[in-house]
Structure 1
């Protein structure tokens, strides 16, 4: 059964179907007497060149009603996917901040005071004073950085982050090389070394018996030496039980934040 236009209100999330795709947008059927035109500028949180990048013909999805009347006061609904995605993105980054997670994001540009990164379709800022790297900010464009969220202000569109690497912080990286003395982990723009004795409490023959190149690894920062450009890591400190890195590394990664929090508490005491 069709609903009247007057039954919809700004802020409502409705289910609709794309019934036609045009160069400048799409016609959406939300059960109203007439289809609603969705302009391409409101189709995605990301920049797109054609409607097909965001919607397929006959695809059904959620839309946010953003306006009920046009500028002349006539009853005319306006829809947005972009603003719906933005609201969800802000919710996700607020949750990440609350959980104090370390996330990975790519530097997409520079600005006067630092660099810009892309997170969940949003743009975040890192001040130069919060960058733990000897590289010039222009050299960081395209690099993935481990980051912490400092401030989330949806109303000002402000997302502030830090790339200050700290002891006790959990980072995610890829094994880039394996040596007899340990494994090098790519965590962004700084070299990180997971030394042989810091892999597990249990005895292991060589790092090769635990890792291979391109393995994804969660580890905790043990030491930061920016003058030498070297970060020391540990997975041993994250083991719930001695030897878990050898028997069940996934368990170690799932408990990583919890174990790192215990480590930080012990250090503070």
Structure 2
């Protein structure tokens, strides 16, 4: 476990000079101090300057040892950052938020992902897709914290919980921002927060799209509307066609489509709500036994004959039990 910060002295120093393998630091001590490259940051670096270490920079360092060669003190920034990273992970777990982690390796049990600079383990049972470890390498995947134990150096994560959280928010008619992952003759696959949705060629625009590549390219960022969501199969259908202010805007002026996306989606949701209300009203017209009737002004209510003229007698209703 990386707990240098609790076992060694913390000092303030000024970077004197940098080199390929580290940096010399003035800590106003009789002996010189050295910051090795591997101790400059919680992340792997090729040069200390990637961690913001330049001549003249002042930092708080941890003294982690002494060089046997010349008795110079060995400093670390990495140990301080580890303590902060564990604290941040505990906070994120308490808030139950979704984070992104980059997969760097894998084994028979799962994959290792970097989160807040720490190596966390994601068991295959906690990965929502049936992907092999090799397929996930170098990919960023959404994750939630399952276990954060600094004393045991255990950081366990779940992609399945993160995906379930994200999918719960995918309401029909909602607008989300996505990135074009790949193009197929029948449509484009869009990454919407770690979930792959299909933007079918027929749902890109009201105007016919003969070649998807003339409208979209991998890496493009766009706004799409959730058209349908099959949670059991994990399939999400998307549309930009429904977001067009006028037919063909997605081809001629996609910027306008994205600017008006929320407004157009709101109109779409209102139309759906009205259609559902009309369908319920029609159903009740043919079901008088339901005890409800539709007034001339379209308001649903109980049949007038069911209510006594003097109102309801509530005196015999017992109080609710605690």
* TM-score bin (small chain): 0.5 to 0.7
> CA–CA distance in 1 between the matches of 2:194 and 2:22?
40
Corresponding residue of 2:15: 18
Measured against aligned partners, the alpha-carbon deviations of 1:119-153 in whole angstroms (never above 9, x if no partner) come to 12211111001111122222111222111111111
**Greater Cα offset, 165-174 or 154-163:** 165-174
Alignment partners' CA distance in 2, 1:49 and 1:85? 18
What corresponds to 2:191 in structure 1? 186
Instruction: Tell me the matched-pair count.
Output: 218
Gaps of 5+ in 2: 1-6, 171-175, 201-205, 208-215, 239-259, 266-322
- Give the aligned partner of residue 43 of structure 1: 40
Contact 1:45 1:86 in 2 (8 A): yes
Distance 1:79 1:116 in 2: 28
Listed one character per residue, the Cα deviations across residues 182-217 of structure 1 (whole Å, up to 9, x for unaligned) are 99530476523589xxxxxxxxx99xxxxx973377
Unaligned runs of 5+ in 1: 1-8, 196-204, 207-211, 234-243, 250-269
1:98-109 equivalences in 2 (<5 Å): 98-109=94-105
Which secondary structure state, in structure 2, belongs to the residue aligned with residue 27 of structure 1?
strand
State the 1:100 CA deviation. 1.2
Q: Kindly report which structure 2 residues correspond to 1:53-132, keeping only aligned pairs within 5 A, or say none.
A: 53-67=50-64, 70=66, 77-132=73-128
1:29 matches 2:26: yes
Considering fraction of residues, name the structure with more strand: 1
CA displacement 1:61-118 (0-9 Å, x = unmatched): 4333244x7599xx97542111112122222222221111112222111122001111
For the residues of structure 2 that align with 1:223 and 1:172, how far apart are their CA atoms?
19
Aligned partner of 1:266 in structure 2 is: none
Contact 1:89 1:121 in 2 (8 A): yes
The answer for the alignment partner of 2:168 in structure 1 is 168
Cα separation, 2, equivalents of 1:144 and 1:219: 23
TM-score (norm 2): 0.52
Considering fraction of residues, name the structure with more helix. 2
Q: Which structure's relative contact order is higher, taking Cα pairs within 8 Å and 6+ residues apart?
A: 1
Give the Cα separation in 1 of the matches to 2:262 and 2:177: 18
Query: C-alpha displacement at 1:245, in angstroms?
Result: 6.3
Partners of 2:32 and 2:72 within 8 A in 1: no
If the length of structure 1 is used for normalisation, what is the TM-score?
A: 0.61
d(CA) in 2 for partners of 1:16 and 1:218? 51
The CA RMSD measured in Å over matched residues stands at: 4.5
Distance of aligned partners of 1:84 and 1:172 in 2 relative to their CA distance in 1, 3 Å threshold: farther
Whole-Å separation in 1 of the counterparts to 2:180 and 2:158 = 23
